[in-house]
A = this chain, B = another copy of it.
Amino acid sequence: MTEGLLQYLENFLTDQRKNRIEAILANRTRRVTLVLEDLVDPHNASACLRSAEACGIQDVHIVENRHNFQVKTGVSMGSARWLTIRRYRSELLGAADQSPMATLPILDSLAESNDATTRCLSDLREKGYRIYATSPHENSIELPELDPSVPAAIVFGSEKDGISGTARQMADQCLRIPMYGFTESYNISVSAAITLYDVTMRMRNSTYNWHLSDKEKEELRLLWVRQSLRRSEFLEKQFRREQNASTHTMDD
C-alpha cells in the first residue's frame, strides 16, 4: 500500500526532483546527530537546523528544560521539514502547543531539574551513540580527535550558560573547537556548523558504513515526496479513494 502510494505521488514530481531526492538519500546519515539543549535565540536555533540539514544529518534532538524551542523560517530556510526532529520537553514547560513566545519562570526548587536532558541523552545512549558535550572544559578533546567511526550525538547548550551540568555529567566526553586567537568562543550557530561539517566530512571520507539502511531510505523517501508536493494530502486522499474503488470492483 505504501509503495503504491509512493509511486502514485511520484507521478506528480519532476524527474529532476526525484533525482534530487535520491541523491540526498544516498548522502544522508544517522550516525551523527545534533542535540540542542535550551537554545534561547530562534536565529541560532534555525541556523543550527539549516547547517545540520546541509551536512546531510537526518536527526536533530531538541531539549527544552527552560526554554521553548523556536524556529525562524527565514533563517532555517525551510530545512526543518526535511529533518527528523524529536523534542524532549521538561514538565516545567507544560504542553508543547502553548504560545511559541512564552518562556516560563523557573521555580527555585526545580531550577536544577534538567529532566528533558536526562531523557534525551538516555535515549541516545541506548541507541548506541557516544555523547559529546561541547564545552571549553579542561578535560575536553579537540574536534579533530573526535572519532567518526562511532555514532556521535553532539550536544550544544544555551547561548548564555552553555551545556547544563546534567549534560556534562551524562556525556562520554567534552568536546571543543581548537581556537588560536584572543577570541575565546564562537557563536553557537558557528560552533555547530564547524563541528558538524568537520565530523561529517571525515565520516564521508572514512570506510565506515554511515549510510541509511534501505528501510530507512524508504521511509524518508515517502516523507520527502510528501513534503515536495503542495497538494500532498489531497493527492493521498484521491489515491485511497481510487484504491478503495478498485478493491470494491474486484470484490464484485
Contact = CB atoms under 8 A, between A and B. Distances in A.
A18 to B, nearest CB: 13
- Copies of this chain: 2
A199 to B, nearest CB: 12
Contact of A190 (B79, B82, B193, B198): B193
A250 interface: no
Interface in A37-61: 47, 50-51, 53-56
B198 A75 contact: no
Contacts of A178: 201
Contacts of A54: 179-181, 183, 186
B181 A82 contact: yes
A28 B50 CA distance: 31
A194 interface: yes
A62 B33 CA distance: 36
Contact of A197 (B47, B184, B187, B194): B194
B24 A181 contact: yes
Contacts of A82: 181-183
Contacts of A6: none
Nearest to A46: B187
B185 A55 contact: no
Contacts of A55: 179-181
Given A47-B187, A201-B144, A53 B182 contact: yes
B27 A183 contact: no
B56 A180 contact: yes
Interface in A151-189: 177-187, 189
Given A27-B180, A28-B180, 5 more contacts: A24-B182, A51-B186, A75-B187, A77-B184, A197-B197
Interface of A: 20, 24, 27-28, 47, 50-51, 53-56, 75, 77-79, 82, 144, 177-187, 189-190, 193-194, 197-198, 200-201
Smallest CB-CB A-B distances: 3 pairs: A56-B180, A27-B180, A54-B183
